[in-house]
Amino acid sequence: MYNNRRPSYGGQNRNNQSNGFRKFNGPNSNSQQRNNFRNPRRKRSFGVNLATHLFIKKAEPITKIEEVIVKNSFEDFGFDRALLKNVKDKGYIKPTKIQDEAIPEVMIGRDVLGIANTGTGKTAAFALPIIDQIIKNPNKRFIILAPTRELAQQIKDEIRSFTFDLRVYVTLVIGGSNMQSQIRDLRRDPHIIVGTPGRIKDLGNRRIIDFSRMDVLVLDEVDRMLDMGFINDIRWIVNLIPNNRQTLFFSATMDRKVESLIDTFLYDPAKITIESQKTSDNVEQDVVMVNRHNKGDVLIDILNKEEVKKVLVFGATQRIVDKISNNLIDTGFRADSLHGGKAQNKRQRILKMFKDNHIDVLIATDVAARGLDVADISHVINYDKPNNYEDYIHRIGRTGRANSKGYALTFVENKY
């Protein structure tokens, strides 16, 4: 990894400790970086209830993901030809499983309940039929709710990537960004509004968004929206959208809270479950034994390894991720942090720098990293354990994308 002020021990470590990550056990001899991370008052530990064996798994041979069998080709869905061309130009050769099953149902106007994770192609599963409907009837209006600003932005970007040469307008309505420019965009009456529930409700309250005109409602990552406390905002919004709407409801998990919404929000939905493998098959997972005092050093040692190219590091709190980031920058790494405490335009800038390879290490909290789609992350490092297994699966799904092998390392703290 690029490190313009690589500390002398970094190079040594790469040579001395080249045979496996689990070697990082004892404290490192160099004290400079270690002290930056050392904080005797920090006794909190995260994800303590998750058994260590959950974090260890060999990657499956990569050919396995090619074997998914689907019934339809994109031509079978009856899409407008210009849209079909944009799909092909984007390089999509055949539908993913969720697209194969959901698109025909969405196209006949049926409600859909999709149990599927990010990474399955679910964005295009709702985006393509929506764009097709707009081409065929430009008076139709659509609203898409997502839990985080980043996910909303990603959905908007994915939609835009299919609308080349088409008169389809989409706008983003998220917190932390300039509201006046969003109001200006909304006054131009876009076909599709994508956003987070809080800001959308806010602009609904000011009568800038007219929910009574919405024909289709998409609720993406409902489980996460509930976790984030958006339930009242969502109910408020959904109540204002006409009952004869079409509703597309996606959630990675199904628990009682999510289930309780299905009957009120959906009418006779087509239920589509995409078996989520417990973990991404092409992600090699391992643990790294650390102790409270040497975590920072161990992280630097790993980052200095040749094969560690582009890394997403997860920390438990905003304070921790900022601290890790500052320490890595001081050490000479091209690093930055991403968390909910940063202004939205700053978050977007940092994310873009990571995507464009101007940053090699991004340190993030779960909330900021949800739904991130960055193609070439070589390693995910759980500096702090996730709070639950779902979050773990989600975190490690950021690597090993697009048929490449990824690595996930989870720091497990020795008590001694």
What residues line the site for ligand AMP (CB under 6 A)? 92, 95-96, 99, 118-124, 373
In the complex, minimum distance from the CB of residue 397 to ligand AMP, in angstroms, rounded to a whole number: 10
* Beta carbon nearer to ligand AMP, 146 or 324: 146
* Beta carbon nearer to ligand AMP, 118 or 153: 118
* Beta carbon nearer to ligand AMP, 322 or 373: 373
Cβ–Cβ under 8 Å, residues 120 and 212: no
Cβ–Cβ under 8 Å, residues 109 and 158: no
State the first-to-last Cα distance of the chain, in angstroms, to the nearest integer. Answer: 31
Contacts of 260 (CB under 8 A, 6+ apart): none
Residue recorded with tokens 């009682």: 256
In the complex, minimum distance from the CB of residue 177 to ligand AMP, in angstroms, rounded to a whole number: 21
Q: How far apart are CA 249 and CA 218, in angstroms?
A: 6
* Beta carbon nearer to ligand AMP, 99 or 365: 99
* Beta carbon nearer to ligand AMP, 1 or 151: 151
In the complex, minimum distance from the CB of residue 94 to ligand AMP, in angstroms, rounded to a whole number: 6
In the complex, minimum distance from the CB of residue 121 to ligand AMP, in angstroms, rounded to a whole number: 3
In the complex, minimum distance from the CB of residue 57 to ligand AMP, in angstroms, rounded to a whole number: 21
| Number of residues that this document lists for the chain | 416
* Beta carbon nearer to ligand AMP, 83 or 316: 83
In the complex, minimum distance from the CB of residue 51 to ligand AMP, in angstroms, rounded to a whole number: 28
Tokens of residue 312, six digits: 């997403």
Return the half-sphere exposure (C-beta side, CA atoms, 13 A cut-off) of residue 329: 12
Phi and psi for 173 in degrees, rounded to 5?
-130, 95
* Beta carbon nearer to ligand AMP, 120 or 304: 120
Reduced to 3 states (helix: H, G, I; strand: E, B; else coil), residue 106 is: helix
In the complex, minimum distance from the CB of residue 274 to ligand AMP, in angstroms, rounded to a whole number: 10
Per-residue b/e over 88-107, b at no fewer than 16 CB within 10 Å?
Answer: eeeebeebbbbbbbbbbbbe
* Beta carbon nearer to ligand AMP, 108 or 402: 402
Name the residue among 182, 181, 208 with its Cα closest to residue 195.
182
In the complex, minimum distance from the CB of residue 214 to ligand AMP, in angstroms, rounded to a whole number: 22
Contacts of 93 (CB under 8 A, 6+ apart): none
Residue at 273: amino acid letter: T
